[in-house]
Amino acid sequence: MMLLTAGTRGDVEPFLALARYAAARGHDVRLATTEDAERPPDVDVVGLDLDFRRVFRPPGRTPWALAHHLRTEVRPGMRRMFAAAVRQTLLFAPDVVVHHPLVLSAPMAADALGVPRVLVELSPVATPSGAFPAAGGPTATYDLGRWNRATYAVPRAAAHLFDADVARAAAGLPGGRRPPVRTRSRATLMAVSPQLLPRPRDWPAQVHLTGSWHDEDARGGSRHDRTAVAPVDPEVAAFVSGGGHLVASFGSMAVGGAEARARAVVAAARAHGLRALLLTGWGGMALPEDLRGDDVLAVRSAPFDAVLPGAAAVVHHGGAGTSHATARAGVPAVVVPVTADQPFWGAQLHRRGLAARPVPVRRLTAATLVSALGDLSGRRERAAEVGRAMRQEDGLGAALAVLTAL
């Protein structure tokens, strides 16, 4: 089984969990992912010749800077990744190829080997539905009714921007050209919880809403045993056990204003009598010296399964992985979306009663966050109910069942 993914932590960790889960059950699994991803010793991981952090972080926000970054970093990086995906897949010669939508060369590698492929969606971007718009498009937060299906043309158009780069990757295939016919994916694994996104009636039967994929379950921890969590730094463990706390994380969102975001979070937490744990990630927050105190702790990262249970609230950017982790922990949230699928998940969590109305990152201040945190008091019971239901899901088991049945 060949697993191929590229992106931020939220794109990689579910595939790592599936790789670990399948390998523990006797399957021969290899995961190919970006160079900056984790390489755990119990998973066969190879690189895809792409440092996604470098590609993902443009040096400026002006149109000229973005165009220059696209030409000098994004296009060459994606071109290398497509070629590496073909090369690694042919070397491994799997019996099935399982891939993220961003790995656009995976279909032709599977076709060249004559094996089935399976698409994985961590947010609904490739499977159209009339029930909701595509995540990541400009209309992701709006229900457009019968026009919802048309919004899925946006991610398709974005993928076509790389057609020439995918074609160049075909040089690594037998004969140096792509197969004449592209075979459709045998199945789609929607690694999403039905508690957050109920299955719409118009999805075809080959689309499987599995529930999200969590490494806790992959390591063998019971879904009913909340003590089965990853190791946590003693300082972090002491902080979260010391009373009411708020967790804030912007993941890989390292856009400007890192200190301003930290100021807003700390001020809002203090206004509500909460202590603040800041997970600074790729640089989404930076704690100024004048805000330091016993009620604030800033660390680069910490396992969500260790710090979210027991939290009074979570402030996060709305990535699919963080949204699922927060909901699974049963904690209400304030979502501050920045880009991509984050506005979609922010709106969806609000609709499901699990989060306050989203606060766009450009409007994040201490005042807006104080107000949003105040809205969470009526959402705690609903969040706890959904968390209990999500902890009963077996997303990895459902996914592997689909793969072994092909």
Measured distance CA(203)–CA(181) in Å, rounded: 24
> Which pLDDT score, from 0 to 100, does residue 100 have?
97
Map residue 245 onto helix, strand or coil.
strand
**Span 346-355, mean pLDDT?**
96
Give Cα 370 distance to the centre of its chain.
Answer: 27
Radius of gyration of the chain (CA): 21
**pLDDT at position 225 over 60:** no
Q: Average pLDDT for residues 12-30, to the nearest whole number?
A: 95
Q: Which is more confident, 271 or 141?
A: 271
| 3-state class percentages of the chain: helix first, strand second, coil last, to nearest 5 | 45, 10, 45
Which strand (E) or helix (H) includes residue 262? Answer: helix 258-271
Judging by beta carbons within 10 Å of its beta carbon (0-12, 13-18, 19+), is residue 37 exposed, middle or buried?
buried
Query: What's the mean pLDDT when you consider all of the chain?
Result: 90
The pLDDT confidence band at residue 351, using thresholds 50, 70 and 90, is very high
Q: What is the pLDDT of residue 60?
A: 64
- Work out the pLDDT band at 219, boundaries 50, 70, 90: low
Q: What is the pTM of this model?
A: 0.91
Number of other CB atoms surrounding residue 387 within 10 Å: 20
Rounded to the nearest 5°, which phi and psi values hold at 298? -115, 125
pLDDT value, residue 340: 82
Residue 58 — very low, low, confident or very high, per pLDDT cuts 50/70/90? low
pLDDT at 61 over 90: no
**Residue 221: is its pLDDT beyond 90?**
no
Residue whose C-alpha is closest to residue 403's, from 96, 41, 108, 69: 96
What pLDDT does 322 receive?
A: 93
Residue with tokens 């100021």: 263
Q: Which long-range contacts (CB under 8 A, 24 or more apart) does 332-337 make?
A: 332/356, 332/376, 332/379, 332/380, 332/382, 332/383, 333/376, 333/383, 334/358, 334/359, 334/369, 334/372, 334/373, 334/376, 335/359, 336/250, 336/261, 336/360, 336/361, 336/364, 337/361
Sheet of 296-299: strands edge to edge?
Answer: 296-299, 275-279, 245-249, 313-316, 333-335
Backbone angles phi, psi at 21, to 5 degrees: -65, -45
Q: In DSSP terms, which residues pair with 99 in a beta bridge?
A: 4, 119
What value does the mean pLDDT take over residues 232-251? Answer: 89
**Amino acid identity for residue 272 in this structure:** H
Largest Cα span, the chain: 66
What is the pLDDT confidence band of residue 138, given thresholds at 50, 70 and 90?
Answer: confident
Higher pLDDT, 283 or 130: 130
> What's the pLDDT score for residue 319?
92
